[in-house]
Amino acid sequence: MSERGARLIKGATGEWEIVIGMEVHAQVLSNAKLFSGAATTFGAEPNSQVSFVDAAMPGMLPVINRKCVEQAIRTGLGLKATINHRSVFDRKNYFYPDLPAGYQISQYKQPIVGAGEVTIDLPNGESRRVGIERLHLEQDAGKSLHDQHPDYSYVDLNRAGVALMEIVTKPHMRGSEEAAAFLRKLRAIVRYLGTCDGNMDEGSMRADVNVSVCRIGGYDKFRETGELKHLGIRCEIKNVNSMRFIAQAVEYEARRQVDILESGGTIAQETRLFDARAGETRSMRSKEEAHDYRYFPDPDLLPLEIDQAWIDEIARSLPELPDEKKARLMAAGLSAYDAAVLVAEKETADYFEAMVAEGVEAKAAANWLNNEYFGRLNKAGLTVTTGPVTPAQHAAILEMVASNIISGKIAKDVLDIVWQEGGDPRAHVEARGLRQVTDTSAIEAAVDAVIAANPDKVEEAKKKPKLAAWFVGQVMKETRGKANPQAVNAIVNDRLGIADGG
Ligand code: ADP
Ligand code: MG
């Protein structure tokens, strides 16, 4: 196993650093494909969403989908990246049965989005920046089906021509933990932006993970000079399609490279695939070079010209992104940890915001969710979207606490009741008589009864003021948790002749 947050790996001759750069394919959220009007719905009947363009029928011409371009710009802005006013679509030529045209329309030397950055949050609370090299638009390919017939392979072209954003990072991640943190953050950003659904199970987000190892210090030298020669030779692991597999694939691949280097070998730059069942990476093919693809500008498409006014308009419509939201919540008094938990998933953030919109103070809402609700959800295998309690119900419970109608302890019971039975928390409190007793005379009577029944304890408490807590506990028990604890405390102290806070 590697150590120090999975950044280093120990070999027979010493420690090595693991360096990672990623190429993430994110499917653009759009109703139609990048260059045709065919639909993009996931899971449709095979070949039911294929236009003549997608099937590469002779004479068909691509027409760019404005919505896809807007989504790429929006994503670029979310990655704090340069948007290029002029970009070019190229043909990337290769032969494969799921690619009817014999080329993929992609962007090569002039992508739509240039350099940007993503801030990643590590489990130890640290934040680091990962450079984005570029984002370009390209078409997805179809899908070969080899398990439908004993003698034939079939092809489903529904996915052919769907718009993808390829997001390429600099080799700035050190180890599997940072790689996973990057992918989580990127996924959160595109989901906040509404530019990709981030659904890794359906293949809407797939990562190619480039891994190399070098001697300690190589990474820092690379960061200082920008020279790749300080890093090791990398291998690219294709289509790692779950967060869990990223760590496994990186760890396996780094170990493999260290073993080769330490036994005097050299790393062959190649494309590998991760076999999740075996937990190992295997060689797929030697790394192809750009010239293998015979890139050239697609003569059917004009260069893409984007004016600043459109970029500005999209920028104005950008939602608050996770980092900004986290900063705002911290300014409202939340801890970095609580804020990070709340913003990590868009649904969680929306749920929290809905509670605040119902009038709950931000810190109270965060404490309540983190301490009470999320634990219950986890235990039941539910999420904020599938769980049984609405933000308005939480707000009603917390409002009753804030206005001293129920105690914090009773609030938890009310949450359990609402979880089981649904309904209006206020009605449950009334129906079950859970209202906190703030009526002083009722509390006085309860205190006096406890005092009268325990004369020996009263004598003791006069010498040991800490015993007052015992009386408070008894009164709370007698009133089944409904007495206002502050009032009980004050009256007990008064009756025992103890100064407040004693
Ligand atoms: P290519 O054009 O051959 O695909 P790129 O320069 O576009 O190469 O890099 C592809 C990916 O590989 C990028 O995400 C980059 O960060 C990553 N990468 C490049 N060099 C290394 C390295 N030495 N170790 C790890 N990742 C690397
Ligand atoms: Mg590349």
Both 444 and 420 in one domain: the answer is no
Q: Provide CB contacts within 8 A for 418, sequence distance 6+.
A: 388, 389, 393, 397, 425, 428
The answer as to whether 339 is a domain residue is yes
The answer as to whether 347 is a domain residue is yes
175 C-beta closer than 6 A to ligand 1:
no
Render pLDDT for 457-478 as a digit per residue (tens, 0 to 9).
Answer: 898 888 888 888 999 999 988 8
19 C-beta closer than 6 A to ligand 1:
yes
What's the pLDDT score for residue 3? 45
Question: Among 22, 118, 130, 168, which is best to mutate for testing ligand 1, by the most ligand atoms less than 8 A from CB?
Answer: 168
Render pLDDT for 100-154 as a digit per residue (tens, 0 to 9).
Answer: 999 999 999 999 999 999 999 888 778 899 999 999 999 999 999 999 999 999 9
187: closest CA among 26, 419, 56? 26
Both 123 and 158 in one domain: the answer is yes
Both 215 and 357 in one domain: the answer is no
Last residue of a domain, one of 391, 408, 431: 431
Helix axes 485-496, 440-453, angle to 10 degrees: 50
Both 486 and 424 in one domain: the answer is no
Q: How confident is the model at residue 5 (pLDDT cuts 50, 70, 90)?
A: low
Both 456 and 356 in one domain: the answer is no
CATH number at residue 484: 1.10.10
Both 156 and 192 in one domain: the answer is yes
318 C-beta closer than 6 A to ligand 1:
no
Q: How many domains does the chain have?
A: 3
> What is the spatial distance between Cα 412 and Cα 368, in angstroms, rounded to a whole number?
9
Q: What is the 3-state secondary structure (H, E, C) of 287-344?
A: CCCHHHHCCEECCCCCCEECCHHHHHHHHHCCCCCHHHHHHHHHHCCCCHHHHHHHHC
The answer as to whether 308 is a domain residue is no
Range of the domain at 462: 440-496
71 CA distance to ligand 2 middle (Å): 21
Nearest ligand 1 atom, CA 228: 23
Render pLDDT for 56-78 as a digit per residue (tens, 0 to 9).
Answer: 999 999 999 999 999 999 999 99
* C-alpha gyration radius of the chain: 30
The answer as to whether 303 is a domain residue is no
The answer as to whether 502 is a domain residue is no
Q: Is the pLDDT of residue 4 over 60?
A: no
Is 82 or 437 the better-scoring residue by pLDDT?
82
23 C-beta closer than 6 A to ligand 1:
yes
168 C-beta closer than 6 A to ligand 1:
yes
> What is the spatial distance between Cα 30 and Cα 37, in angstroms, rounded to a whole number?
10
Q: How confident is the model at residue 433 (pLDDT cuts 50, 70, 90)?
A: confident
Q: Which ligand is nearest to the CA of 18?
A: 1
Render pLDDT for 161-178 as a digit per residue (tens, 0 to 9).
Answer: 999 999 999 999 999 999
Both 354 and 213 in one domain: the answer is no
Both 416 and 457 in one domain: the answer is no
Query: What is the token pair recorded at 60?
Result: 């068909």
Both 131 and 174 in one domain: the answer is yes
Both 400 and 421 in one domain: the answer is yes
Both 410 and 477 in one domain: the answer is no
Render pLDDT for 193-251 as a digit per residue (tens, 0 to 9).
Answer: 999 999 999 999 999 999 999 999 999 999 999 999 999 999 999 989 888 899 999 99
Render pLDDT for 382-414 as a digit per residue (tens, 0 to 9).
Answer: 999 999 999 999 999 999 999 889 988 899 999
The answer as to whether 126 is a domain residue is yes
| Mean residue pLDDT across the chain | 93
| Contact in structure between 95 and 86 (CB atoms under 8 Å) | no
279: closest CA among 241, 240, 245? 245
The answer as to whether 310 is a domain residue is no
Last residue of a domain, one of 293, 312, 336: 293
> What is the spatial distance between Cα 490 and Cα 386, in angstroms, rounded to a whole number?
43
Question: Among 166, 186, 208, 210, which is best to mutate for testing ligand 1, by the most ligand atoms less than 8 A from CB?
Answer: 210
208 CA distance to ligand 2 middle (Å): 10
Both 83 and 180 in one domain: the answer is yes
105 CA distance to ligand 2 middle (Å): 15
